Amino acid sequence: MAKVDTSLVAHLPLFGGVKPEDLEEILREARSVRYPKNSAIFEQGADAQSFFLLLHGHVRAAKTTPSGEQIVVRYVSPGETFGLAMAIGAARYPATAIAVDDSVALIWPTSAWPRLVERFPSLAANTLQTVGTRLQESHTRILEMSTQQVEQRVAHALLRLAKQSGKKLDHGIEIDFPISRQDIAQMTGTTLHTVSRILSGWEQQGLVESGRQRIILRDPHGIVVLAERSPDSGAA
Amino acid sequence: MAKVDTSLVAHLPLFGGVKPEDLEEILREARSVRYPKNSAIFEQGADAQSFFLLLHGHVRAAKTTPSGEQIVVRYVSPGETFGLAMAIGAARYPATAIAVDDSVALIWPTSAWPRLVERFPSLAANTLQTVGTRLQESHTRILEMSTQQVEQRVAHALLRLAKQSGKKLDHGIEIDFPISRQDIAQMTGTTLHTVSRILSGWEQQGLVESGRQRIILRDPHGIVVLAERSPDSGAA
DNA sequence: GCTCGTTTTTGAGCTATCGCAAACACCCTG
DNA sequence: CAGGGTGTTTGCGATAGCTCAAAAACGAGC
């Protein structure tokens, strides 16, 4: 098994407060796995046998209702952990993870977690921190869904994606992985039709440039304005 | 300062894996504070000086938008922690906490957290667990808001409240603290008007009995049926 | 028992957004 | 370069739920 270079991951929040030699020990328990674009990494409801640290690529975590409707829980960027079912004491994954790009992740057996935490308490503290942050973001999302209209929510979603995974271009910011209107709909609690209409509108106004699974924010500031517009302060 | 009886809190998840003598040490750092009904425990945006463990009563955690709209993040029941800003590395409270009943909480200075975690690593692990569970619940809530209609969401919300804080009566389950239509609206992402209409309807059908800040589920099973009804399987 | 403030109820019209349907554009493959 | 599949656009109703408005019920304090 290829050895993982500690220098690549030492700076990640997960490993804050972990000594270099300890880090090596931790990494010895992991293996590195490649997931081709559009492949499933794990399925909602499956046995949580592993947990993950994304090295390259992007992963979409989605939750499905009994009747088949989906929402996107989040997009995972390199350096982030996912599939932490064990940390919350769940035996099964609460969501499905799909690689949206060719991706590489470090993967540990779930069974290693208790031992690791015991030996390296910072791991628990660090994970608590990131899970806490996600909880906050989650609450913010609920707040938005409760108080804002669809257009504002889409604006916020795009701005977040741009901040998280934006590639700076001369003429704007491009979201760095394939993402469809459907995906955005599932992030904002609306339908792909509505998202499509909104993006069409924005394209007219020169705010964005978009195509098949591709979005470029041409005027990020303009979108910020939209995002913060109060419900009624409508334009002409 | 009154000493806290360890036997009252020893069984709580937060203290799982903590030895009795250690528990005493932990409790020595806390004090017990009483909050009268409707008083604020902390305000969103304020310096996170303390974290809390609710002993008696009920607390509503709510988040407010810049423009003043509110959502209810959750209701805290006895035995649960709240105000854990420090665990997620936040210097300020992300929400406001209000005692909805006369309440009593143990309160620790935020500054004690790092020391406690260092001495008693189970605290971090346990807290990770509860925060993780809350994250899951939060995702479930987002899923509901995205895929269900208001009536179903209200049904789910009431069922959760009943499970969490329901007092069993002969003729149903009563929610054990004062809660208004407005509160329920803020839990489900709708308006108090809509909630009022829905509850009126249910009352007609004998599903609930309700009054000023008071709700009794007369037919919990009937409400479960409503909660699970698919979008279109409408009644006559 | 009366008054005041809060909560709840109910009506009526409005609209943002959905749902359905059809046409279209694009990309990949053979 | 033609064919097929997936993603996107757009039109046109339908409607769940919102907003505004007003009245009624309730509870607490004097």
Evaluate whether residue A169 is within a structural domain: yes
Encode pLDDT of A214-233 as tens digits: 999 999 999 999 999 866 55
Q: What is the CATH number of the domain that holds B191?
A: 1.10.10.10
Cβ–Cβ contacts within 10 Å for residue B5, how many?
9
Same-domain status, A79 and A158: no
How many domains is chain B built from?
A: 2
Asked whether this complex has an ipTM greater than 0.90, the answer is yes
Same-domain status, B55 and B112: yes
Residues (pLDDT < 50) of chain A are: 234-236
Same-domain status, A68 and A124: yes
SS3 content of chain B, % helix, strand, coil (to 5): 45, 25, 30
Distance from CA of A182 to the nearest CA of B (A): 13
Q: Give me the percent of chain B exceeding a pLDDT of 90.
A: 90
B89 CB-contact burial (10 Å; exposed 0-12 / middle 13-18 / buried 19+): middle
Same-domain status, A89 and A125: yes
Same-domain status, B41 and B106: yes
Same-domain status, B73 and B113: yes
Evaluate whether residue A129 is within a structural domain: yes
Same-domain status, A131 and A154: no
Same-domain status, A191 and A210: yes
Containing A42, the helix (H) or strand (E) segment is: strand A40-42
Domain membership of residue A87 as a residue range: 6-144
From the CA of B212, how many Å to the C1' of C6?
10
Same-domain status, A159 and A109: no
Encode pLDDT of A16-52 as tens digits: 999 999 999 999 999 999 999 999 999 999 999 999 9
- Residue B234 — very low, low, confident or very high, per pLDDT cuts 50/70/90? very low
Q: Is A169 left (phi over 0), alpha (psi -120 to 50) or beta?
A: beta
Contact A224, A159 (CB under 8 A): yes
CB contact under 8 A, B135 and A139: no
B89 contacts in chain A (CB < 8 Å): 129, 132-133
Same-domain status, A165 and A48: no
Q: Between B88, B118, B143, which is nearest A129 by CB?
A: B88
